């Protein structure tokens, strides 16, 4: 068992006071056999009442409003979570039986939503990739790992060149991005071959082992493997997601799992700062200045502040 103390700060700073801020937060970790929430508090500017409900995918979602004029909005989540190692997939069904299973669930809940391919994800380049000899005659799990490795080796991890609105076509063209882009690319590949795949939002807690994605929320994919269930795969780091990955939410894509999104009435110019710190059981942290925890980087926005559920990019 591993235990982590995670602090996640989201800070909006406005040019002048704003009002009527309405927000949605998905900052409540999933609770199951392999993940236990020991402590969790969320402090928000103005101490608003947060209403929590379950969404369609079973995620805990909080909503709150802050109607009074304010020039800063801070959402400070402090979490203590314990994770357990999940046994690696072992499947007794034959390769043919596993692929036949997927044919039988094409239109079944809960898989149908995780098999839908949007028009923007129908890249001919992905079809050409899937048709290569090295991807033939494989089991579903073998293909999941091969696609994960392909993305890791052929796409460059680079911050600041994509947004939450960057399309699969654009990601494929520039062959670069951050964890959410890698996850979306893997989702498109798996859904093309009829493997149910869902987006996962959470935190990565690698403890100085060189994994990418610290300092903000992380993203990876879960694929459904016959005779086993959902297996997490992290294309940003080319690993199976296990006890170092803390899950917040699952959905079809980033939009379903966005940690914080909302609207407000006021100036369009504002700055967003986001940071995540992880403290391990030995007292070490992923931040050099633990006592001076200042969210970075800053992202400035100059868009209509009252547009539909403006989504703030938080994942690295």
Span of 12-26, 37-51, 228-242, 294-308 with lowest mean pLDDT: 294-308
List of residues 6+ apart from 146 with CB closer than 8 A: 134, 135, 138
Closest CA to 264 of 28, 22, 15, 77: 22
Quote the DSSP letter at residue 237. Answer: T
Quickly count: other Cβ atoms within 10 Å of residue 4's Cβ.
20
Question: What are the tokens at 30?
Answer: 């999933």
Contact between 207 and 280 (Cβ < 8 Å): yes
Give the pLDDT band of residue 305 (cuts 50, 70, 90). Answer: very low
Q: What is the pLDDT of residue 280?
A: 92
CA 180 distance to own-chain centroid: 6
Q: What is the pLDDT of residue 313?
A: 44
Give the pLDDT band of residue 287 (cuts 50, 70, 90). Answer: low
Task: Calculate mean pLDDT across residues 162-166.
Answer: 86
Closest CA to 315 of 293, 292, 291, 299: 299
Whole-angstrom Cα distance, residue 184 to residue 303? Answer: 25
Q: Which CATH number fits domain 2-84+257-311: 2.60.15.10, 3.40.50.2300, 4.10.220.20, 2.60.40.2250?
A: 2.60.40.2250
Residue percentage of the chain with pLDDT more than 90: 72
Task: Calculate mean pLDDT across residues 6-30.
Answer: 96
Whole-angstrom Cα distance, residue 10 to residue 272? Answer: 7
Whole-angstrom Cα distance, residue 139 to residue 153? Answer: 21
The pTM score is 0.90
Q: What is the pLDDT of residue 308?
A: 37
Indicate where the chain has its CATH 3.10.620.30 domain(s).
95-253
Give the pLDDT band of residue 300 (cuts 50, 70, 90). Answer: low
Task: Calculate mean pLDDT across residues 11-31.
Answer: 96
The residue ranking higher by pLDDT, 286 or 182, is: 182
List of residues 6+ apart from 110 with CB closer than 8 A: none
Give the pLDDT band of residue 296 (cuts 50, 70, 90). Answer: very low
Does the domain made of 95-253 have the CATH classification 3.10.620.30? yes
Give the pLDDT band of residue 144 (cuts 50, 70, 90). Answer: very high
Give the DSSP H or E segment for 173. Answer: helix 168-174
Give the pLDDT band of residue 9 (cuts 50, 70, 90). Answer: very high
Task: Calculate mean pLDDT across residues 252-262.
Answer: 94
Residue 118 has pLDDT above 80, yes or no: no
Task: Calculate mean pLDDT across residues 97-101.
Answer: 95
Q: What is the pLDDT of residue 91?
A: 82
Closest CA to 269 of 305, 236, 223, 315: 305
Residue 125 has pLDDT above 50, yes or no: yes
Indicate where the chain has its CATH 2.60.40.2250 domain(s).
2-84+257-311
């Amino acid at each position: 068992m591993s235990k982590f103390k995670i602090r996640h700060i989201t800070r909006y700073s406005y040019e002048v006071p704003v009002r009527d801020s309405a927000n949605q937060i998905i900052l409540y970790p999933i609770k199951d056999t392999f993940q236990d929430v020991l402590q969790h508090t969320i402090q928000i500017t103005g101490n608003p009442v947060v209403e929590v409900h379950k969404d369609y995918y079973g995620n805990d979602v909080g909503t709150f409003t802050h109607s009074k004029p304010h020039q800063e909005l801070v959402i400070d989540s402090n979490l203590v979570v314990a994770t357990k190692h999940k046994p690696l997939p072992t499947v007794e069904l034959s390769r043919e039986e596993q692929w036949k299973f997927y044919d039988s669930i094409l239109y079944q809940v809960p898989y149908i939503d995780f098999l839908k391919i949007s028009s923007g994800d129908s890249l001919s380049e992905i079809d050409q990739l899937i048709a290569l000899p090295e991807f033939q005659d494989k089991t579903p799990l073998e293909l999941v790992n091969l696609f994960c490795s392909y993305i890791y080796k052929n796409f460059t991890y680079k911050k600041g060149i994509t947004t939450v609105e960057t399309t699969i076509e654009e990601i494929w063209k520039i062959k670069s991005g951050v964890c959410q882009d890698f996850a979306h690319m893997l989702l498109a590949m798996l859904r093309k071959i009829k493997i149910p795949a869902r987006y996962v939002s959470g935190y990565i807690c690698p403890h100085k082992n060189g994994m990418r994605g610290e300092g903000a929320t992380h993203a990876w994919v879960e694929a459904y493997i016959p005779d086993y269930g959902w297996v997490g795969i992290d294309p940003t780091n080319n690993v199976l997601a296990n006890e170092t990955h803390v899950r917040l939410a699952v959905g079809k894509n980033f939009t379903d799992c966005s940690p914080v999104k909302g609207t407000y009435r006021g100036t369009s110019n504002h700055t967003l700062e986001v940071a995540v710190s992880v403290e391990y059981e030995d007292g070490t942290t992923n931040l050099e200045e633990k006592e001076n925890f200042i969210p970075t980087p800053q992202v400035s926005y100059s868009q209509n502040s009252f547009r539909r559920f403006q989504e703030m990019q938080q994942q690295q």
